[in-house]
Amino acid sequence: MIKLSIIVPIYGVERYLRKCVDSLLAQDLPASDYEIILVDDESPDACPQICDEYVIKSQESRVKSQEFPVIKVIHRKNGGLSSARNSGIETAQGEYLMFVDSDDYIEPNVLGGLMMQVERDNLDVLRFNFRNVNEQNEEFHLNKNPKRDVDFSEKVTNGETFLNERLGPGCYAWQFILRRDLIVPTDCITINSFPSGRDRVGLLFTEKIYFEDTDWTPRMLIRAKRAASTSKIVYNYLWRQGSITLPTDTAKRKKVLDDKIRLIRGFQEQSQFVKDPVWFTWMTSFTTMSVLGMLAKMSANGRIPYLHELQSLQIFPLSIKKEKMLSHKIKIILANISPALYCTLMSLRK
């Protein structure tokens, strides 16, 4: 029985792909316990051929000695990161799922310990630690700490408590191992459709949006009954030239703004299914302030429709409950007094 399916969406990473896949092979988990699913999202470089090479290598090795896990490749029409992940989920046979971005890599001999903790504590979700690395594989720290308000306690709790007390703002899909039936349960309502018209069920990734991880992570967690973390560094997140960044042209900036507001709507909807919506309230403030920061860079007239839309969501006053920095609290208070005035003041400051 396959315990773990590792899903790797692939696009334009010829330079990094071998390091990624090799890191998944350099593990202490028995080869028969896991599979690697490479999802070629119509990559325009040599990635499709590299994927095929690994599949052949896996097949040949398993015939001789069973020292390689099963490696599968899906060659598909380009649809983006979320769609590629969903294709991998639909193919996965493992009891648990893990997502690895194709320009990142994991530490050697870590999967055995992770799965031991998962099975020992009968977890639905295990969150592990990570580090940021540059192209020389050197760890570095960003100006803003991505681990702030993150609790890596191994104590088992339910998903809602984990969300409210331990998750923080770091909603990275690649930071979790989770039960496959948590995402694709047989009793879950449909959320979107295949191009062919067939219903896609469960809590799959919403496609064609920015911030898909922030949309997906809380939806997954509020279904979990048993969740925990490990502080052990498992994942290396590569910051490189050419990585996905926020766009600068007008059309894409509008898409980013629209998707951030879509996130806020999603937080409002999901908060109705929990007893304590503290995380959703906090992330509503966090995301709204990000929207206002973007609006401050626009013309006064360009801001108007977005400010009206934010007001229509009835999210003001924003909460400062979990905000620890005084300067951030002051900004939120100013935004609560007048979002339009806040944007004007921020634009003058910039």
> Which sequence spans correspond to the domains of the chain?
4-238, 250-349
Q: Please, how many CA atoms are within 13 Å of residue 101, restricted to the half-sphere of its CB?
A: 20
- Whether the per-residue pLDDT at 136 is higher than 80: the answer is yes
- Whether the per-residue pLDDT at 66 is higher than 80: the answer is no
Query: Residues 52, 73: contact at Cβ < 8 Å?
Result: yes
pLDDT digits (tens, 9 = 90+) for 269-319: 999 999 999 999 999 999 999 999 999 999 999 999 999 999 999 999 999
- Whether the per-residue pLDDT at 244 is higher than 50: the answer is no
- Whether the per-residue pLDDT at 219 is higher than 60: the answer is yes
- What does pLDDT average to over the chain? 90
Q: What is the dihedral of CA 24, 28, 30, 36, to 10 degrees?
A: -10
* Amino acid letter for position 161: T
Query: Residues 243, 250: contact at Cβ < 8 Å?
Result: no
pLDDT digits (tens, 9 = 90+) for 147-190: 777 899 999 999 999 999 999 887 899 999 999 999 886 544 34
Query: Residues 284, 318: contact at Cβ < 8 Å?
Result: yes
- Whether the per-residue pLDDT at 63 is higher than 60: the answer is yes
Position 185 scores a pLDDT of: 64
**CATH number attached to the domain at 4-238:** 3.90.550.10
Confidence of residue 350 (pLDDT cuts 50, 70, 90): low
- Whether the per-residue pLDDT at 234 is higher than 80: the answer is yes
Position 197 scores a pLDDT of: 35
Q: Cα(162)–Cα(124) distance, rounded to whole angstroms?
A: 12
Confidence of residue 61 (pLDDT cuts 50, 70, 90): confident
Q: Which of 86-90, 215-219, 248-252 shows the lowest mean pLDDT across its residues?
A: 248-252
pLDDT digits (tens, 9 = 90+) for 197-206: 333 445 899 9
Q: Cα(141)–Cα(124) distance, rounded to whole angstroms?
A: 30
Residue ranges of alpha helices (H) inside 44-144 are 47-64, 81-91, 111-120
Query: Residues 86, 207: contact at Cβ < 8 Å?
Result: yes
Q: Cα(47)–Cα(43) distance, rounded to whole angstroms?
A: 6
Percent of the chain with pLDDT over 70: 90
* Cis geometry, peptide bond prior to residue 30 (ω within 30 degrees of 0): no
